[in-house]
Amino acid sequence: MEPKQIYEILSGKFNGKIKQFVENTFPPSVIVEPDSVVDVCRFLKTEESMDFKSLICLSGVDLKEQGKMAVVYHLGSMNHKHKIAIKVELDRNNPHVQTVESVWPGANWYEREAYDLLGIIFDGHSDLRRILMPEDWEGHPMRKDYVYPKQYHTWDV
Amino acid sequence: MGVLEDKLPDNILFTNVDKFLNWSKKSSLWYMLFATACCGIELMQAGASRYDLDRFGAIFRASPRQSDLMIVAGTITHMMADRVKRLYEQMPSPKYVIAMGSCANTGGPFFKDSYSVLKGVDKIIPVDVYVPGCPPKPEALIEGIMKLQKKVMEEKNLVKK
Ligand code: SF4
């Protein structure tokens, strides 16, 4: 199925929750309201004609100039050989979004990474700890206004 | 060497005993299996049949309790750094460290602006030999081990320093 068709089906089903279709990204992306992302994802996974069984990647993006944080879900279907990206935009000062762990269990570690590096909070996540940085690290190093600490434990960074 | 350490006079008998002790140390540099990144592949290769580190008496042990030498082969992150230090402290002395590859020497490709990589393992543990390269060839590592053997041969155990 073409991404444009997927977008049209989604906007028919989730009235008012689907904000925009962006064609010039790869794969083309659909911008969704943060509060309905779990419903949209579950629909995309379970619906026979969509069949997005695989969450290829989940990544956080810091859009500092626009005062936003974004989470991008790259989805793929092995059976239908189509791809799409779902994107949610959050408030940069208080980035909260529901976890999609209940849809794809593999999202667990992706979401921990986005939390670790960008400080995006995934509500309802079963184990939201840091994954790459040490537990007692301060701040989220991939944020664009992050200031590196001079010292960590006994050595300089 | 316990109670006798650094106490004996510097005469021909004890210098020869010292040499013998050094010779036995340098001929059994058992190294700890410790590979954290791509350099580890070269370390494995150096231990395998083609380069055969065994002929220098260097064989790998899986436990710090049984090893004399720690070859830090690979990138050390801040998260790993505490563990490296603890492993080093678990090794019985005399113990030696070889920093293998640019990452362990200085942070290497991650030197500038990396938030997670330790910029050189010498910030946390004392290093005896640095082997440069990204990754160093097995020949380079073997040269590093031979340098270390030379260093071990010059040590004084029983006689006064
Ligand atoms: S020095 Fe190069 S080869 Fe060795 S661990 Fe670092 S990046 Fe990998």
Q: CB distance A137–B81 less than 8 Å?
A: no
- Residue B4 pLDDT class (50, 70, 90 cuts): low
Give bridge partners of residue B55 from the DSSP assignment.
none
Give B65-103 pLDDT, tens digit per residue: 999 999 999 999 999 999 999 999 999 988 999 999 999
Percent of chain B with pLDDT over 70: 94
Residue B115 contacts A where some CB pair is shorter than 8 Å:
yes
> Rounded mean pLDDT of B122-150?
94
State residue B129's pLDDT score: 95
Domain ranges of chain A: 3-156
Topology given in CATH for the domain delimited by A3-156: Beta Polymerase; domain 2 (3.30.460)
- Assigned token pair, B158: 């029983």
- Residue B10 pLDDT class (50, 70, 90 cuts): confident
- Residue B143 pLDDT class (50, 70, 90 cuts): very high
Choose the residue to mutate in B134, B137, B141 for probing ligand 1, maximizing ligand atoms within 8 Å of C-beta: B134
State residue A149's pLDDT score: 85
Q: Supply the DSSP symbol for A42.
A: H
Q: Is the pLDDT of residue A90 over 90?
A: yes
Q: How far is B77 from chain A (nearest CA, A)?
A: 8
Q: CB distance A133–B116 less than 8 Å?
A: yes
State residue B2's pLDDT score: 60
Query: Which is more confident, A96 or A157?
Result: A96
Closest alpha carbon to B31 in B72, B60, B3, B4: B60
Q: Is the pLDDT of residue B32 over 80?
A: yes
- Residue A148 pLDDT class (50, 70, 90 cuts): confident
- Residue A8 pLDDT class (50, 70, 90 cuts): very high
State residue B27's pLDDT score: 92
> Rounded mean pLDDT of A109-138?
92
Q: Is the pLDDT of residue B126 over 90?
A: yes
Ranges of H-type helices in A1-157: 3-13, 37-46, 107-118
Residue B3 contacts A where some CB pair is shorter than 8 Å:
no
Percent of chain A with pLDDT over 90: 76
Closest alpha carbon to B45 in B123, B140, B126, B111: B140
**Average pLDDT of chain B to the nearest whole number:** 89
Percent of chain A with pLDDT over 70: 100
Which of B115, B116, B123, B127 best tests the A interface by mutation, with the highest count of A CBs <10 A? B115
Residue type for position B60? F
pTM of the prediction? 0.82
**Average pLDDT of chain A to the nearest whole number:** 92
- Residue B161 pLDDT class (50, 70, 90 cuts): low
> Rounded mean pLDDT of A80-109?
93
Q: Is the pLDDT of residue B121 over 80?
A: yes
**DSSP annotation string for A127-140:** ----SSS-TT--S-
> Rounded mean pLDDT of A138-155?
87
Q: Is the pLDDT of residue B8 over 90?
A: no
Q: CB distance A153–B116 less than 8 Å?
A: no
What is the side-by-side strand order in the sheet with B129-131? B60-61, B31-32, B69-73, B96-100, B129-131
- Residue B35 pLDDT class (50, 70, 90 cuts): confident
State residue B155's pLDDT score: 86
Give A23-70 pLDDT, tens digit per residue: 998 899 999 999 999 999 999 999 999 899 999 999 999 999 999 999
Residue B122 contacts A where some CB pair is shorter than 8 Å:
no
Query: Taking the CB of residue B119, how many other CB atoms lie within 10 A of it?
Result: 19
Alpha carbon nearest to ligand 1 atom 6, residue: B103
